[in-house]
């Protein structure tokens, strides 16, 4: 089983310390560990970055500083540059999810014959292979010189009239896609989240919530009056569970009317007795 | 051609204006338009929200304020609650990408012939269907009462030791997945839609059929005795539809016992009257 480290994050000329801190926080969320910073505008260390890291302090403290992109990428095998702008540069453009597919491909080929073995033969292939996500400065983004050593552009799909994500949010999207894919395919040696217990029912349709509220109000008043909730303390959880079991059925508006009619018929006897 | 509006974003008791602004910005990035806010801590309007919206000012200005979750969801058909915590609540848990598959399923059914068109015909289906993403307050997240009307939990996959995303970043991930999926499949035009049946394979967690039969026998006898089925000819189809709507909820054995207890309490009044 190959042991691959998570990809590196490289920030090129970041401006605000709080943005660097927010990047570290997002890295934590998605299991990214190693941060490299090229020529931070306000110098280093930056106390503001630590203050805003919110759990990512260790990432900030262990961040390595480089004078230029070339030195930051010196030991990196594959670098993806994130950009919102299409450029005149002849490079592949991939989405975040395509990026992750490529990475899985790279790492899972470890023990196999490679089609272009000459090109790829390297002591750093597979195990120990280093992959970097490169992010540009706030506002201006990466310059052409910055991306000279990068293998492809990652472009995050966004609404066409509002394509600029802030720095940490770009890291969130790329980190999220990476984590999602890494959990799915198990290429990385990570402590895995236990699978969610899923209760899949295909979505069909459901009445507007106001219909549901009407049903619940009616049923609750019946149950209260009839003393169904014998122990008052237990009512909140019991009632919550009951509403959930009905919601799961995704009743239509018509079905809710039927249900309410049924409840009314049963209840009328009770009213009449009083 | 069905006209579907993008999903709504509902913020429940948000605290900081700048977080509301950051949410609006993220909504813009991913083509989400309509923001509803339940009981914002610092009142409304909040100038800080506008200052930090960075392109999302119109979303802030058009945001609607509600006193509680029930009123914010009154016209919503399907509501997804985002949460980092697993709960004791019996509700489906889906990832952001699974959520989008479900939504595509809902919307794409609109313009097609449905195999059970009679059963499914409802004014709330397909066109005009409202779907909401519900986000809780910073730090504390959604309370159990907040999610009572929600249909499922969205849980964003994160590193297990650092599962809390900030508010705007949760909106980024959910918005990103929504935008990505809507671009891929054309949620509005639906022409390029791919089959997605695999993702809908139901996993059953339902009580044994004997429990169901016990419930149905009890309910049927109550309804017969109370004259609920006024027209005898129509009873078979009505009763079949009612059983189906309950079956769709995939009740557990415990839930069936609760349901039967509830029916008994309502019925006792009727018996006593005779």
CA B90/CA B130 separation, integer angstroms: 23
Q: Where are the beta strands (DSSP E) in chain A?
A: 8-12, 35-38, 64-66, 78-82, 92-94, 131-135, 152-154
Cα torsion angle, A63, A66, A69, A71, sign: negative
Write out pLDDT tens, residues A92-106.
788 898 888 887 776
> In the prediction, which pLDDT does A250 show?
78
A255/B262 CB distance under 8 A = no
Q: Is the predicted pLDDT of residue B248 greater than 80, yes or no?
A: no
- The pLDDT tens digits for B171-202 are 999 999 999 888 776 554 333 333 332 222 23
Helix or strand or coil: residue A11?
A: strand
B221 CB near a chain A CB, below 8 Å? Answer: no
pLDDT above 70 for B227: yes
Give the model's pLDDT for residue A171. Answer: 97
Confidence class for position B272, pLDDT limits 50, 70, 90: low
Q: Hey, what are B222's tokens?
A: 């109550």
pLDDT, tens digit, 9 for 90 and up, residues A15-44: 999 999 999 999 999 999 999 999 999 999
Q: Which residues are paired to B10 by β-bridges?
A: B36, B134
CA-closest candidate to residue A258, choices A225, A204, A218 = A218
Cα–Cα distance list, A274 to A76, A220, B55, B226, B262 (Å): 81, 19, 62, 18, 19
Range of weakest confidence among A171-175, A200-204, B166-170, B205-209: A200-204
More confident: A212 or B67: B67
A272 Cβ under 8 Å from any chain B Cβ: yes
- Give the minimum alpha-carbon distance from B43 to chain A in angstroms, rounded to a whole number: 25
> Would the pTM count as exceeding 0.80?
no
Rounded distance between C-alpha atoms, residue A177 and residue A171, angstroms: 10
A216 pLDDT band, cuts 50/70/90, is: very high
Using pLDDT thresholds of 50, 70 and 90, give the confidence band for residue B107. low
The answer to whether residue B34 scores a pLDDT higher than 60 is yes
Partners of residue B222 in chain A, C-beta under 8 Å: 266
Question: Would you give the DSSP letter of residue B73?
Answer: T
Mean pLDDT calculated for residue range B22-29: 95
Cα separation, B184 vs B94, in Å, equals: 20
Residue among A159, A209, A266 whose CB faces B270 most closely? A266
Average pLDDT over all residues of chain B:
80
């Amino acid at each position: 089983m190959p042991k691959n480290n998570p990809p590196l994050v490289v920030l090129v000329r970041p401006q605000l310390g709080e943005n660097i801190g927010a990047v570290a926080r997002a890295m934590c969320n998605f299991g990214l560990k190693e941060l490299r910073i090229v020529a931070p505008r306000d110098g280093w260390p930056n106390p503001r970055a630590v203050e805003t890291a919110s759990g990512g302090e260790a990432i900030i403290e262990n961040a390595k500083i480089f004078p230029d992109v070339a030195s930051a990428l010196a030991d990196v095998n594959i670098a993806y540059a994130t950009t919102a702008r299409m450029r005149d540069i002849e490079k592949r453009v991939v989405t975040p999810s395509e990026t992750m597919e490529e990475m899985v491909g790279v790492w899972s080929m470890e023990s196999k014959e490679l089609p272009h073995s000459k090109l790829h033969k390297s002591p750093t292939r597979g195990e120990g292979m280093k992959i970097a996500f490169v992010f540009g400065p706030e506002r201006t983004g990466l310059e052409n010189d910055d991306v000279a050593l990068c293998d492809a552009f990652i472009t995050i799909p966004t609404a066409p009239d509002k394509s600029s994500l802030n720095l940490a949010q770009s890291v969130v999207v790329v980190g999220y896609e990476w984590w999602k894919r890494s959990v799915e395919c198990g290429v990385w040696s990570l402590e895995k989240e236990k699978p969610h217990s899923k209760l899949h029912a295909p979505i069909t349709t459901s009445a507007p919530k106001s219909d549901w509220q009407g049903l619940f109000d009616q049923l609750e008043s019946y149950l209260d009056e009839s003393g169904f909730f014998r122990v008052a303390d237990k009512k909140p959880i019991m009632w919550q569970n009951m509403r959930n079991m009905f919601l799961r059925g995704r009743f239509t508006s018509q079905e809710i009317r039927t249900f309410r009619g049924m409840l009314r018929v049963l209840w009328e006897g009770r009213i009449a007795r009083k």
